[in-house]
Structure 1
Amino acid sequence: MDAEQLIDAITPEAYERLLFAVETGKWPEGTELTPEQRDSCMQAVMLYQSKYNAEAQHMTVAKGGEISFMSKAELKKQFQSHEQDIVRVNINKGDD
């Protein structure tokens, strides 16, 4: 199987599982990855991102294989623009 066939075989759901495994070192079920599995998963994630990641985040592989880096100011601006989407909850203890 070549790289293009591998990318085409990865479903969005499989990509999310692979990404979780790379980020945490564990499969969603909790089983730890071996170093070889983590390396393979990371390569698969990067290949998938290089084809489908149209909105690359800080330090990801953008669509077309270009590595995307965002400055601290760009990240701060991006998070501030999404601040209205954050639900804030204030739990007051002792108000029984």
Structure 2
Amino acid sequence: MSEMSFDRMIQQMTPSIYESLKRAVSLRKWPDGRMLTAEQTELCLEAVMRYELENQVPEEQRVGYLQRRTCGSASSGADVPPELAGLARDAGSD
């Protein structure tokens, strides 16, 4: 697929098509149950990401978004119970 036709496809993509592609990537299969190939998955994911960028989809609604989590009081560890404070350190000592 040429870059120009890919750009045109993104510009003409409807919200319904976007949701369908997003679901296909998530499930790794088309609505009729056929599995996506690796190339189809890659192209669909690129189309979804480009659509999100072009249409200013809020970051927290974008594919692959991970909410940042803090531990306790702004990640200082102040609110972490003592029995959990050493978990990461203990896990690495095996």
TM class by smaller structure: 0.5 to 0.7
Equivalent in the alignment of 1:72? 69
Of the three residues 31, 35, 58, the one matched with 1:28 is: 31
Q: How does 1:15-54 map to 2 (within 5 A)?
A: 15-54=18-57
Match of 2:84 in 1: none
Instruction: Tell me, yes or no, if structure 1 residue 55 matches structure 2 residue 58.
Output: yes
Identity of aligned residues (%): 33
Offset of 1:68 from its aligned partner? Answer: 6.3
Q: Which runs of no fewer than 5 residues in structure 1 stay unpaired?
A: 62-66, 74-96
Higher strand fraction (1 or 2): 1
User: Deviations for 1:26-64, whole angstroms, at most 9, x for unmatched residues?
Assistant: 112211101110011011001001111432217x37xxx
- The CA RMSD over aligned residues, in Å, is 2.5
- Alignment length, in residue pairs? 67
Structure 2 CA distance for partners of 1:54 and 1:39, relative to 1, 3 Å: closer
Q: Which moved more, 1:21-30 or 1:1-10?
A: 1-10
Tell me which structure has the larger Cα radius of gyration: 2
